[in-house]
């Protein structure tokens, strides 16, 4: 049972986290000591060899929230636009960088992993998600998404591979979207294992032609469902139906970059970018049309009028409404469901925000949002990924050219 939350000393609309205290120790001190000793910093390590994280700015931040006091520690910094975090046995962590690098964090050292396919990194495209197979300890498969192609056109693609030392081996391409598009926008590319031998992969509308999200033969603007080897499950909702790509699970999406399988209900929840406004929390039901761009709560970037003008509406029959619209704009990326060590957050969602630079704790009851608390508002930067680790802590990836990974634990 949840305990009564700690009351704020001032009124707020959407609940914000109170009280923050910082303890920071900059790398400048370390370099000053080196200079006094007549030494120079060690040269940068080559790819494939461990690079000790001696340059990490050791920042610890204490944050109050409604139910828990939190300790936030930076565990990695100096990485370029980290996109995803994954956990391996032996307290190892994988981190993708959008520009095409994959790192292994082990015993406080970063090792760059070789063997990736050629990644076309441009604007929003690059190396994106990394997710271990649920039975990774037995089969060793890692699943990764990336933008495949060149400056003339790219597609979101899915591979799987084995990790041997500091190299990916046995790389298999499992899937690529069926329409090549000018590079740079709306890739989606989150992966979710369903626990039944299948996985979901989100694919954005690719930005240039939003109406493609309503084309049921185009993978753009959809969630696809695949078997773990990339084949099409026989029970997908549109298998055998004329005019539908058989991989499609749901469609009418703009750009989903947060997706989870709720362990208590078995429901699939997703956070989705809107245009100006219209960021959504959706409950995904197979075979459902979620409306974009014909039905959207978002506004046009230029005119601030209804997106699409006379060709769109806020609500249309036969198109699923979002469970929640995030206002003000969240720019959602990364989604986790909490269990274990955060007793009073059990079953809640944690939704990361890029432009908003915050995490929202979303409380659900019977499929409805009943409460939202803001966390880390403008404290850490653009939140790209949110994951709960096997140690029970929450891990956050900060999307910046000088990005970082933070670890959050209860400090009651």
Interatomic CA distance for residues 237 and 284, integer angstroms: 13
Catalytic residue chosen out of the listed positions 186, 219, 253, 273: 186
Does 371 qualify as catalytic in the annotation?
A: no
Place of tokens 């959008």: 98
Buried b (16+ CB within 10 A) or exposed e, 247-262: bbbbbbbbbbbbbbbe
Contact in structure between 119 and 147 (CB atoms under 8 Å): yes
Of 405, 384, 392, 377, the closest CA to residue 189 belongs to: 384
d(CA 299, CA 294): 12
Q: How far apart are CA 329 and CA 137, in angstroms?
A: 40
* Residue carrying the six token digits 């049972």: 1
CB atoms within 10 A of CB 325: 18
Nearest alpha carbon to residue 106 among 60, 146, 166, 62:
166
**Any idea which residues carry the catalytic annotation?**
186
């Amino acid at each position: 049972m949840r305990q009564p939350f700690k009351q704020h000393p001032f009124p707020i609309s959407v609940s914000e986290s109170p009280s923050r205290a910082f303890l920071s120790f900059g790398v400048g001190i370390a370099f000053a000591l080196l200079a006094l000793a007549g030494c120079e910093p060690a040269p940068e390590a080559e790819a494939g060899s461990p690079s000790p994280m001696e340059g990490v700015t050791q920042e610890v931040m204490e944050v109050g929230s409604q139910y828990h006091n939190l300790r936030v520690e930076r565990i990695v910094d100096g990485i370029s636009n980290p996109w995803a975090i994954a956990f391996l046995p032996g307290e190892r962590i994988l981190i993708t960088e959008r520009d095409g690098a994959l790192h292994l964090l082990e015993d406080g050292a970063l090792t760059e992993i070789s063997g990736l396919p050629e990644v076309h990194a441009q604007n929003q495209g690059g190396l994106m998600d990394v997710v271990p197979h649920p039975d990774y300890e037995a089969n060793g498969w890692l699943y990764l998404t990336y933008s495949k192609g060149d400056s003339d056109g790219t597609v979101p693609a899915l591979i799987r591979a084995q990790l041997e030392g500091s190299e990916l081996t046995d790389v298999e391409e499992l899937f690529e979207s069926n329409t090549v598009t000018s590079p740079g926008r709306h890739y989606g590319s989150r992966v979710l294992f369903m626990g039944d031998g299948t996985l979901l992969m989100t694919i954005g509308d690719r930005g240039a032609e939003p109406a493609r999200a309503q084309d049921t033969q185009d993978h753009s603007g959809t969630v696809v469902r695949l078997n773990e080897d990339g084949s099409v499950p026989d029970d997908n909702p549109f298998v055998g139906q004329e005019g539908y790509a058989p991989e499609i699970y749901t469609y009418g999406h703009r750009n989903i970059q947060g997706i989870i399988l709720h362990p208590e209900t078995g429901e699939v929840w997703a956070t989705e970018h809107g245009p100006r406004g219209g960021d959504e929390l959706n409950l995904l039901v197979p075979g459902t049309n979620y409306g974009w761009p014909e039905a959207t709560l978002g506004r046009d970037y230029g005119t601030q009028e209804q997106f699409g003008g006379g060709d769109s509406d806020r609500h249309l029959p036969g198109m699923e409404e979002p469970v929640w619209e995030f206002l003000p704009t969240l720019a959602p990326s990364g989604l986790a469901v909490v269990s274990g060590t955060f007793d009073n957050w059990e079953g809640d969602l944690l939704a990361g925000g890029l432009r908003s630079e915050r995490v929202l704790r979303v409380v659900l009851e019977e499929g409805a949002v009943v409460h939202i608390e803001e966390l880390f508002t403008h404290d850490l930067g653009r939140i790209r990924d949110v994951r709960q680790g096997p140690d029970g802590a929450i891990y956050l990836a900060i999307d910046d050219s000088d990005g970082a990974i933070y670890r959050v634990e209860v400090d009651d």
